[in-house]
Structure 1
């Protein structure tokens, strides 16, 4: 009996072209002192409905993690091709940082339970932007595909990293330490043909979740 074959493709990324100043800017993973704090957080999207405790947040700004209790995408169809998509967007108001810094999302971690029939696949997208400059966005795309002959049914974890020159940074913090409003949208799209089944979300032991880390630069 053949084991299921799981193919995880390297993520693609779409973003506004970096300026020469951004390409030369020195960066650091260490948060300045004092570090920022999350003033408020809200959620929107089909994967985090307001009618239930859809999201549990743990950690502060530096170690935030979101458990997406209602995030489930599935597809089972007899039509030629079907895509089932679900998303959850977090909106974080951030303040209290040291003066003269900018911050952006650098690494994204996605976890959940995945079921894929042979030939089916899952695309996931993480888009981040700051409301103060909503025209500048960065989108990370990853793909998980079942290339084997048996159904794939297991927990998965994927990590994606934004290249240095394509990080979308917050406004420069002033004397009050206001960072801005960060928006992070997580979306999955299941790809199936014919009667193939695909699922991403939770099982008795796993809940879909995401977390991310940052990079800082002087401004």
Structure 2
């Protein structure tokens, strides 16, 4: 049964507790044929058209893509609009074998994080919904506070698991447009602290998804 209202799941994280990335696996019976991906598109300040190339080949075993334009920053010389950035993926699925539903279960993100002092918080938001039932939405939130005055420069690898009660299930046909919005934002009253989240010198911001299935 679908949930009738949006669910907000608060997940607190720290810089030292970032979860390692794990390989995706398809948790579905061998006799089940997953739905086809009809089309994929992206929108948002962190993935302007043409900057993200996500191959859907093998999407049910492993869906991972880079976001080279995904950057958020704050500090005395930056504009307030640069404190947040987002990328929303839109996946249009064709029908699958009747009697099965799928949902996004796990989300990994990786980006480079820098800050030169305390008082700021980097918050990651993940919002999931199907276009045909946009009121049925799940949002997870992870907050990473800057807790000391030392300089921090490291890759930040975060893992979000959407709880069973908050999963957003596809229609039983397996069709529909799934929207997954990934956003980060710097918050805090401190204006003299410089902070950055985005690509490093050697890699882009990256997302990875994993699915779960059930009979309906």
Instruction: Output the TM-score relative to the length of structure 2.
Output: 0.80
Matched, 1:114 2:113: yes
1:1-16 paired onto structure 2 within 5 Å: 6=15
Q: Which of 181, 184, 198 is equivalent to 1:188?
A: 184
Distance 1:196 1:8, change over 3 A: farther
Q: Is the CA contact (8 Å cut-off) linking 2:18 and 2:158 kept in structure 1?
A: no
Are 2:67 and 1:68 aligned?
A: yes
1:60 is displaced (CA, Å) by: 3.3
Alignment gaps of 5+ in structure 1: 11-27
Aligned to 1:16: none
Deviation at 1:201, TM superposition (A): 0.7
Structure 2 stretches of 5 or more lacking a match?
1-13, 20-25
Aligned residue in 2 for 1:15: none
Within-5 A mapping of 1:22-61: 29-30=27-28, 33-50=32-49, 53-58=50-55, 59-61=57-59
CA deviation profile, 1:97-138 (whole Å, cap 9, x unmatched): 222111111111010111122212210001000011111000
* Rg comparison, structure with higher value: 1
- Deviation of 1:33 after TM superposition, in Å, equals 1.9
Q: Contact 2:85 / 2:185 at 8 angstroms: preserved in 1?
A: yes
Structure with greater strand share of residues? 1
CA distance in 1, matches of 2:204, 2:81: 24
Instruction: Report deviation, 1:197.
Output: 0.9
Summarize the Cα distance change of 1:94–1:60 in structure 2 as closer, same or farther, 3 Å threshold. Answer: farther
Q: Deviations for 1:13-33, whole angstroms, at most 9, x for unmatched residues?
A: xxxxxxxxxxxxxxx932662
TM-score by length of 1: 0.79
Q: Tell whether 2:138 aligns with 1:141.
A: no
Q: Tell me how many residue pairs correspond in the alignment.
A: 191
Does residue 215 of structure 1 match 2:212? Answer: yes
Q: State whether residues 155 and 206 of structure 1, in contact with CA within 8 Å, keep that contact through their aligned partners in structure 2.
A: no
CA distance in 2, matches of 1:36, 1:172: 11
